């Protein structure tokens, strides 16, 4: 039997390097980069916080998440969208490498699990009961046409790993409507306009009522897509929405996907 190929560099994977069923060589795994420090408390953008003056008062803000709606409470990403990280996203999303989903979903799940353990938001208890608020996981949906073409929604595949990691139910609460343009290569303002009204609730959105929702996607770029999805979830009762993704697009890295 021939050795398997790496979905990132397309080289052969020596049998001695085979750790699991994921088609990723040891070298590419070692080159996956995490976002640098310091990070914004809310969105974890490296050096995201900046000083600004508002109505004569100096305050701290963040260029990355400053325009997000209150409904999108936080964001975390496993890796930077560059090098192998970008290659894996592209392979899963556009090239049919669905074998990557378990590996990538496990990494996103690790980020989500750590976030739920350390975030004071998730430690919030229901008044008078002492019980934790309900928690569920939902993927950012793609259009039905894209899902038919690919055979799957990559965010939904990643969400399986997240749900398993945090021990919360996976609920498909949103549907994407219309044939809107891809967000790739759109400017930030155009991205927001492109996704406005893009999501409608499914009957299962009742699971979001009075609880916390972990929203899963493959890539965080400007947050426009997640912001629109979070707004719909909040309109239907979610207390807060927390985005987790496999990769984070950062300026000047030239990934080709951001």
What is the pLDDT at residue 159?
A: 98
Domains of the chain: 1-31 (no CATH), 68-248 (3.40.50)
Nearest one of 167, 159, 109, 164 to 134, comparing CA atoms: 167
pLDDT digits (tens, 9 = 90+) for 90-120: 999 999 999 999 999 999 999 999 998 888 7
pLDDT single digits (tens) 193-227: 667 888 999 999 999 988 999 999 999 999 999 99
Q: How confident is the model at residue 197, as a pLDDT?
A: 86
Coil, strand or helix: which one is 137? strand
Half-sphere exposure of 79 (CA within 13 A, CB side): 24
Question: What tokens does 123 get?
Answer: 């430690």
48-101 pLDDT, tens per residue? 556 555 555 555 678 889 889 999 999 999 999 999 999 999 999 999 999 999
Residues ≥6 apart with Cβ < 8 Å to 187: none
pLDDT of residue 92: 97
Decide: 38 and 47 in contact? Cβ < 8 Å.
Answer: yes
Decide: 115 and 76 in contact? Cβ < 8 Å. Answer: yes
pLDDT of residue 52: 54
pLDDT (tens digit per residue) in 146-166: 999 999 999 999 999 999 999
| Distance separating alpha carbons of residues 249 and 253, to the nearest angstrom | 8
Residue 194 CB neighbours (<10 A): 17
What pTM value is reported for the model? 0.87
What does the alpha-carbon distance between residue 140 and residue 93 come to, in Å, rounded to a whole number? 13
**Do 237 and 210 contact (CB within 8 A), yes or no?**
yes
Coil, helix or strand at residue 164: helix
Size of the chain, expressed as the number of residues it contains: 258
Tokens 């699991």 belong to residue: 20
d(C-alpha 24, C-alpha 22), whole Å: 6
H/E element holding 87? helix 84-94
Sign of CA dihedral 45, 172, 258, 65: negative
């Amino acid at each position: 039997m021939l050795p398997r190929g790496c979905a990132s560099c397309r080289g052969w994977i020596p049998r001695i390097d085979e750790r699991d069923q994921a088609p990723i060589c040891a070298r590419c795994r070692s080159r996956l980069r995490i976002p640098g420090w310091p990070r914004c408390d809310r969105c974890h953008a490296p050096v995201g916080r900046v000083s600004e003056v508002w109505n004569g008062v100096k305050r701290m803000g963040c260029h990355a998440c400053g325009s997000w709606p209150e409904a999108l409470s936080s964001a975390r990403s496993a890796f930077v969208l560059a090098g192998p990280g970008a290659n894996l996203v592209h392979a899963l999303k556009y090239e049919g490498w669905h074998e990557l989903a378990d590996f990538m979903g496990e990494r996103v799940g690790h980020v989500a699990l750590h976030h739920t353990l350390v975030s004071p938001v998730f430690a919030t208890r229901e008044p008078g009961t002492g019980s934790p608020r309900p928690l569920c996981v939902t993927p950012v949906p793609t259009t039905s046409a894209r899902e038919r073409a690919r055979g799957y929604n990559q965010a939904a595949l990643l969400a399986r790993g997240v749900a398993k990691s945090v021990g919360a139910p996976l609920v498909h609460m949103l549907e994407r409507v219309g044939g809107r343009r891809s967000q790739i290569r759109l400017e930030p303002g155009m991205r927001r306009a492109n996704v406005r009204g893009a999501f409608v609730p499914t009957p299962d959105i009742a699971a979001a009522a009075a609880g916390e929702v972990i929203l899963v996607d493959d890539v965080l770029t400007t947050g426009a897509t997640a912001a629109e999805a979070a707004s719909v979830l909040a309109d239907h009762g979610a207390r807060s929405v927390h985005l987790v993704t496999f990769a984070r697009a950062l300026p000047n890295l030239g990934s080709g996907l951001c």
